[in-house]
Amino acid sequence: MKTPIYLDYQATTPVDARVLEAMLPYFTEHFGNAASRNHPFGWKAEEAVDTAREEVAKLIGSSSKEVVFTSGSTEAINLALKGAVEMYGDSDHGKVKGRHIITSLVEHKAVLDVCKHLEKNGCDVTYLTPDKTGRVSVEQIAEAMREDTLMVALIWGNNEIGTINPIREIGALCHEKDVLFFVDGTQAVGKIPVDVYADNIDLMCLSAHKMYGPKGVGALFVRRRQPRVRLVSQIDGGGHERGMRSGTLNVPSLVGFGEACRLCRENLEKEMAHTTGLRVRLEARIRASLDEVHLNGNADHLLPGCLNLSFAYVEGESLLMGINNSLAVSSGSACTSASLEPSHVLRAMGVGDDLAHSSIRFGIGRNTTEEEVDFAADRIIETVKRLRDLSPLYEMALEGIDLSSVEWAGH
Amino acid sequence: MAYSDKVIDHYDNPRNVGSLDKKASDVGTGLVGAPECGDVMKLQIQVEGDTIVDAKFKTFGCGSAIASSSLATEWIKGKSINDALLITNKEIVEELSLPPVKIHCSVLAEDAIKAAIADYKAKNVKV
């Protein structure tokens, strides 16, 4: 077993060896521009892009004509939200839907920041507070809907806590009310079954590097029937991707993206069982040796490979410092981010700042083994125990002092 | 984030971890910080005459907070109360090479020393 062990699969994944192998000829031998229509170099590249598009479509249950390639999820989110507002928010473009957007406080910053931008441009955004497991309900969406609601924008599987939203039910409501439904599928696609038609999705972003493909490519699913969704492009010039996203296609990376999608589709059930099994094993082993461990997330609706735990009375950065030579994980602690604020996701769920500071996200993936998970659990256990021996809060808790009753001298 | 060797050393081998009897009249206890802020330090001193003969700490916080409080106990042991009060957070920053975002850890350690001494003095007001 090699250390450090990578347990940060929500941040990114390694490129699968089979994906890399598929990509390599497209850097040197088949280097053509997919838009070169008049010679074999271009045809070869175009054929490869078509195959990749087919594979993306098969994985998400769409037609290949509904897949718009982008540089990743962030760009796809920008195109979906800004493009829809431009198309439908004003009276200039046919059907006017309005400028109200419903989203949640636990979205990725890519969605939240685009929403903030849209607010400056005359949109009205409702940010729903999820339940304490990070989940948004159909009822909440229904209550928030208005006459002028243009779109609901929600994350499918949360990147920090792994909670899965009831996408199919919310999608059905959106279609009943004639509201566009955008889904951030970045963490969900390739990890759980996704069928954009059965799930009632109009727009969905996905990213190759979260599913063992290369960084820098992704896609936006744009529905073409019932309803046909139209967007105003955000990157103009050349009219690539049906005019929705100009720019020469990154052929090698798209080949990799397609191959990554094929592998995810063909092995979905096996990988779900593998990662879920390891996640359950990791949590059980930690809980067997440590008390006061809190799950951040929804135990019944969790991404297979995501486990976010708070270790009460221990600060996250000091915990990471104790393990970061052997484990690569993430923390919701303030100190690990540039902002010095604890995770906005944990805050929105109502997790106290003290527990937010104590949170660790474990990301389990295709290459993770039982041996690695056991090793990780043991390192966590010994470090948490050592830091609790050092923790005045743990000592006070053992003495029976209610920490919430103490008047802290904050700074 | 890169830590200085001294911070890592204090984190790996914290000095003077533990607790003194907070009810004893020769013991002063300082508890500073707040869990919501991500750091809480408890620093205790045992005093004979006006000399700090023992010091203990427990800290909930990042590696720099642990190192700052560990270093503080090391420095105040054997010092007179008045000399201990002269220790500043700047000296802690310099000794541990703390980056700007971690200066608050050193401030907290200085506060903890002062709070422990204040508690001892309050318990031992000369009549």
Q: Are A209 and A215 in contact (CB under 8 A)?
A: yes
Is residue A48 predicted with pLDDT exceeding 50? yes
Q: What is the pLDDT of residue A336?
A: 46
ipTM, 2 dp = 0.93
A311 contacts A384 by C-beta, under 8 angstroms = yes
Q: Which residue has the tokens 């608050």?
A: B104
Q: What is the pLDDT of residue A29?
A: 97
Residues of B in contact with A292 (CB under 8 A): none
- Sign of the CA dihedral with A70 first, then A74, A77, and A82 last: negative
Q: In whole angstroms, what separates CA A87 from the centre of its chain? A: 26
Tell me whether residues B58 and A357 touch, CB distance under 8 A: no
C-beta atoms of A315 and B61 within 8 A: yes
**pLDDT band, very low/low/confident/very high, at A410 (cuts 50, 70, 90):** low
Q: What is the band of A338 on the pLDDT scale with cuts at 50, 70, 90?
A: low
Q: Min CA distance, A385 vs chain B (Å)?
A: 13
Task: Please count the other Cβ atoms lying within 10 Å of the Cβ belonging to residue A139.
Answer: 10
A190-A196-A201-A205 Cα dihedral, nearest 10 degrees: 40
Average pLDDT over residues A204-212: 98
Query: Which residues of B, range 58-97, sit inside 8 Å of A by Cβ?
Result: 58-63, 65-66
Q: So which residues of B are the catalytic ones?
A: 37, 105
Kindly state the tokens that stand for A294: 């809190």
Q: What is the mean pLDDT of residues A160-189?
A: 97
pLDDT-derived band of residue A303, with 50, 70 and 90 as boundaries? very high
The domains of chain A are located at 17-263, 268-400
User: Rounded distance, CA A301 to CA A166, Å?
Assistant: 9
Low-confidence stretches of chain B (pLDDT beneath 70): 1, 126-127
pLDDT band at A403 (very low <50, low <70, confident <90, very high): confident
Q: Which stretches of chain A sit within 8 Å of chain B by CB?
A: 313-318, 321-322, 333-336, 340, 342, 352-354, 357, 389-395, 403, 408-411
pLDDT (tens digit per residue) in A287-301: 999 999 999 999 999
The answer to whether B30 contacts chain A (CB < 8 Å) is no
Measured between CA atoms, how close is B19 to chain A, in angstroms? 9
Rounded Cα–Cα distance for residues B95 and B70 (Å): 12
Bridge partners of A192, per DSSP, are A189
Residues A314-321, mean pLDDT to the nearest whole number: 91
A11, pLDDT greater than 90: yes
Helices A316-323, A370-389: crossing angle, 10 deg rounding:
130
Question: How do residues A350-394 score in pLDDT, each as one tens digit?
Answer: 998 888 888 999 999 999 999 999 999 999 999 999 999 999 999
Percentage of the residues of chain A whose pLDDT score is greater than 90: 88
Average pLDDT, chain A: 94
CATH class, A17-263 region: alpha beta
**Residue range A268-400 in CATH 3.90.1150.10:** yes
pLDDT at residue number A164: 98
Model confidence pLDDT, tens digit, residues A70-89: 999 999 999 999 999 999 98
Percent of chain A with pLDDT over 70: 96
Which among B6, B29, B36 is the top mutation candidate for probing chain A, defined by the most A β-carbons within 10 Å of its own β-carbon? B36
Residues whose CB is less than 8 angstroms from the CB of residue B72 and which lie 6 or more positions away in sequence, other chains included: B43, B55, B57, B87, B92, B109, B110, B112, B113
Confidence (pLDDT) at B63: 93
Chain A contacts of B108, Cβ < 8 Å?
411
Among the partner residues A316, A395, A410, nearest to B36 by beta-carbon distance: A410
Backbone phi, then psi, for A287, in 5-degree steps? Answer: -65, -30
Backbone angles phi, psi at B68, to 5 degrees: -60, -45
pLDDT at A305 over 70: yes
- Which residues have a Cβ under 8 Å from the Cβ of A113 and sit 6 or more positions away? none
Between strands A100-104 and A124-128, the pairing is: parallel
CA distance A403 to chain B (A): 9
Q: Determine the pLDDT at residue B108.
A: 96
Omega of the bond prior to A4 within 30 degrees of 0, cis?
yes
DSSP state of A373: H
